[in-house]
């Protein structure tokens, strides 16, 4: 299924499980959907399984959002107590769309507890109280982490009661936007099908290195934190240059701030020297970097004192502070500010999930979970960027249970594809229109089915009233462009930004000066300072 087809299905309001191989565009598709909802006046609840994943999407963990916190087994009394919380109850009641990212790391019992709480709060017998629920993730990646797996009724979330009653439409993305190396793609696909054979191992054998052959400018991935901390500290100490320290700034309730700090890949105190190997920890394509972009600190800006980084392609960027925030219904609850960098001589496989890397040195000899090797390998764009220090029998294995379930997911996705392909465009459009209105959003006709969000917004802006046209006349231009930003226009701005529309075209579409649009994007935390 293509991203465009999945987006069209999401817009109809059905429950969805959005999945696909790493690099298939899951995050891009969900960002498009969030922008679409906000452009129509609907603010989704955006959650994730872990703090790291939550910071990537400006959301909060599902545990915090639902009020279950660290609790695991909930009695009916526990559910009732959580539902009585004014804050939790208000949050769930106003949610029309719930997005759960990295769902593979949520166990079935936790998901069922969240579902029970939603039904209780909304006083509805429908799954999750009747809201649209969108799961995003890939079960071939890291599995749930549980304190006591013996007590778990269902390890994986897809085997839970909540998943079965929700019965999501599966959208299995088949495009590939990370790996362009066909031989490498074949190896990764063989791992997903449990068909990793001798011919694949021979190709991987060519990536094995000795300690003396390790590239000095490539990040090393390990399965344990201790290895990472030791290597980064040793490598930084080898540099004779002066240490520059950058302290994290924060604002908001202590509990939420601490959650942001735990999930942020940049440390509270970032110590750098000229010559430090670094990795960007945030996405900002307009500025020239994404989460996982590697570089070397070549100096510090005289004016801002911020680190100057040379990327692998010799592009030079000044890394200025950026914001990580927890948002709810469009309101920022807490935020932290830090330089979006971390030392990158080494990083754990767990923290690399979601990154795209040109190259990595991997020690897979101590992998202990199904999928750890797959996650590490799939971070890299080509086989030439894979450098192996060692492997064990577990490194190329994936869960037998996931292998079986993946076949079902693919079949369900094919069925959904055929079903929606047979529907007339007007029927799809009607479902999308009905869902927007059901959520209390504003629908603007016509929003052509299958068109990009940008085209839809442009058409919605056609037929401007005579009063608005007067504002565009030369004599009134200054007044029109200095007007305040309202919520609706901000939603359009975000939608255009998420569509990767050039800044000049965004400004033209919104009848704003380029500097004004740029300043607003910075204030919203979408562009670096």
CA-CA distance, 60 to 332, in Å (whole number)? 11
Average pLDDT over residues 213-238: 82
CA-CA distance, 356 to 378, in Å (whole number)? 8
Average pLDDT over residues 420-426: 85
- Give the Cβ contact number of residue 357 at 10 Å: 26
Closest CA to 263 of 4, 55, 515, 106: 55
pLDDT at 124 over 80: yes
Closest CA to 17 of 137, 111, 105, 139: 137
pLDDT at 5 over 90: yes
Closest CA to 343 of 399, 411, 297: 297
Closest CA to 14 of 97, 119, 120, 92: 97
DSSP 191: H
Cis peptide before 227 (omega within 30 of 0): no
CA-CA distance, 415 to 424, in Å (whole number)? 16
> Where do the H-state alpha helices sit in 209-308?
225-238, 254-263
Here the tokens at position 227 are: 């290895």
> Where do the H-state alpha helices sit in 293-424?
349-352, 372-378, 400-422
CA-CA distance, 95 to 44, in Å (whole number)? 7
Per residue in 347-394, pLDDT tens?
A: 887 777 667 788 888 877 777 677 778 888 888 888 888 998 888 777
pLDDT of residue 477: 39
> Where do the H-state alpha helices sit in 325-444?
349-352, 372-378, 400-422, 425-438
148 pLDDT band (50/70/90 cuts)? very low
Average pLDDT, the chain: 81
CA-CA distance, 386 to 369, in Å (whole number)? 20
Beta pairing partners, 45: 98
Does residue 137 come out as left (phi exceeding 0), alpha (psi in the -120 to 50 range) or beta? left
Helix (H), strand (E) at residue 56: helix 51-56
DSSP 485: P
Burial 401-431 (b: 16+ CB within 10 A, else e): ebbebbeebeebbeebbeebeeeeeeebbeb
pLDDT of residue 478: 40
CA-CA distance, 416 to 188, in Å (whole number)? 25
Task: Provide the residue ranges of all domains of the chain, joining segments of one domain with +.
Answer: 3-177+401-429, 195-391, 451-523
DSSP 252: S
CA-CA distance, 36 to 39, in Å (whole number)? 5
Beta pairing partners, 391: 364
CA-CA distance, 149 to 354, in Å (whole number)? 25
CA-CA distance, 91 to 37, in Å (whole number)? 18
Closest CA to 172 of 419, 409, 371, 421: 409
Per residue in 248-291, pLDDT tens?
A: 999 988 888 887 887 788 999 999 999 999 988 887 777 888 77
Per residue in 36-59, pLDDT tens?
A: 999 899 999 988 876 666 656 667
Of 186 and 128, more confident: 128
Average pLDDT over residues 177-196: 80
CA-CA distance, 362 to 104, in Å (whole number)? 23
Contact between 335 and 323 under an 8 Å Cβ cutoff? The reply is yes
Q: At what angle do helices 514-523 and 503-510 cross, to 10 degrees?
A: 100
pLDDT of residue 521: 80
Query: Residue 439: which residues within 8 A CB-CB, separation 6 or more?
Result: 13, 37, 42, 96, 97
Q: What is the CA radius of gyration of the chain?
A: 24
Phi, psi for residue 98 in degrees, rounded to 5: -110, 120
Please state, for a pLDDT cut of 90, what percent of the chain lies above it: 29
Strands 249-251 and 331-338: antiparallel
The residue whose two tokens read 């797996």 is 149
CA-CA distance, 171 to 7, in Å (whole number)? 9
pLDDT of residue 468: 37
Here the tokens at position 179 are: 């790996």
3-177+401-429 sits in which CATH class? alpha beta
Per residue in 505-521, pLDDT tens?
A: 787 778 888 888 888 88
CA-CA distance, 107 to 155, in Å (whole number)? 5
Contact between 87 and 80 under an 8 Å Cβ cutoff? The reply is no
CA-CA distance, 104 to 394, in Å (whole number)? 19
pLDDT of residue 216: 74
Beta pairing partners, 327: 332
CA atoms within 13 A of residue 277's CA, in its CB half-sphere = 22
Per residue in 446-497, pLDDT tens?
A: 444 444 444 444 444 443 333 333 333 344 334 344 678 887 788 778 767 7
DSSP annotation string for 259-286: HHHHH-SS-SEEEE-TT-EEEE-S-BGG
Query: Residue 352: which residues within 8 A CB-CB, separation 6 or more?
Result: 221, 292, 360, 375, 376, 379
Query: Residue 258: which residues within 8 A CB-CB, separation 6 or more?
Result: none
Helix (H), strand (E) at residue 360: strand 360-364
pLDDT of residue 324: 84
């Amino acid at each position: 299924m293509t991203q465009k087809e999945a987006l069209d299905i999401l817009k109809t309001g059905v429950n969805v499980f959005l999945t696909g191989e790493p690099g298939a565009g899951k995050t891009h598709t969900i960002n498009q959907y969030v922008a679409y909802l906000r452009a129509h006046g609907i603010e989704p609840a955006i959650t994730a399984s872990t703090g790291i994943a939550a910071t990537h999407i400006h959301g909060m963990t599902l545990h915090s959002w639902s009020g279950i916190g660290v609790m695991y087994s909930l009695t009916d009394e526990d559910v009732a107590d959580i539902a009585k919380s004014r804050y939790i109850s208000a949050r769930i009641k106003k949610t029309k769309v719930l997005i759960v990212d990295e769902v593979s790391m949520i166990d079935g019992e936790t998901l069922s507890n969240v579902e029970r709480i939603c039904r209780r709060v909304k006083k509805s017998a429908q799954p999750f109280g009747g809201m649209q629920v969108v799961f995003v993730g890939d079960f071939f990646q890291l599995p749930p982490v549980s304190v006591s797996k013996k007590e778990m009724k269902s390890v994986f979330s897809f085997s839970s009661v909540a998943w079965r009653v929700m019965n999501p439409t599966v959208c299995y993305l088949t495009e590939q936007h990370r790996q362009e190396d066909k031989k490498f793609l074949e190896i990764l696909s063989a791992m997903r099908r449990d068909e990793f054979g001798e011919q694949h191992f021979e190709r991987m054998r060519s990536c094995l290195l000795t300690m003396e052959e390790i590239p000095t400018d490539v990040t090393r991935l390990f399965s344990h934190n201790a290895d990472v901390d030791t290597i980064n500290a040793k490598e930084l100490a080898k540099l004779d240059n002066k240490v520059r320290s950058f302290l994290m700034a924060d604002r908001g309730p202590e509990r939420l701030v601490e959650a942001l700090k735990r999930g942020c890949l940049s440390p509270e105190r970032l110590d750098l020297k000229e010559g430090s190997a670094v990795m960007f920890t945030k996405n900002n394509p307009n500025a020239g970097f994404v989460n996982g972009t590697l570089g070397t600190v070549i100096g510090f800006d005289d004016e801002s004192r911020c680190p100057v980084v040379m990327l692998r392609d010799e592009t030079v960027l000044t890394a200025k502070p950026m914001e990580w925030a927890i948002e709810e219904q469009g309101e920022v609850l807490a935020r932290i500010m830090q330089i979006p960098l971390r030392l990158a001589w080494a990083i754990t496989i767990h923290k690399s999930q979601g990154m795209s890397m040109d190259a990595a040195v991997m020690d897979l000899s101590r992998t202990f979970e199904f999928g750890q090797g797959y996650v590490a390998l799939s971070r890299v764009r080509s086989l030439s960027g894979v450098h192996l220090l060692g492997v064990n029998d577990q490194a190329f294995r994936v869960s037998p249970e996931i292998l079986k379930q993946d076949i079902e997911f693919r079949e369900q996705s094919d069925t959904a594809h055929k079903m929606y392909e047979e529907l007339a465009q007007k029927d799809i459009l009607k479902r999308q229109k009905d869902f927007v209105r059901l959520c209390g959003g504003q629908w603007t006709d016509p929003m052509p089915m299958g068109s990009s969000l940008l085209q839809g917004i442009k058409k919605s802006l056609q037929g401007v009233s005579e009063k608005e046209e007067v504002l565009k006349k030369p004599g009134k231009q200054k007044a029109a462009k200095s007007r305040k930003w309202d919520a609706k226009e901000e939603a359009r701005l975000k939608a255009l930004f998420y569509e990767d529309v050039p800044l000049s075209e965004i400004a033209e579409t919104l009848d704003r000066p380029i500097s004004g649009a740029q300043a607003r994007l910075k204030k919203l935390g979408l562009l670096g300072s």
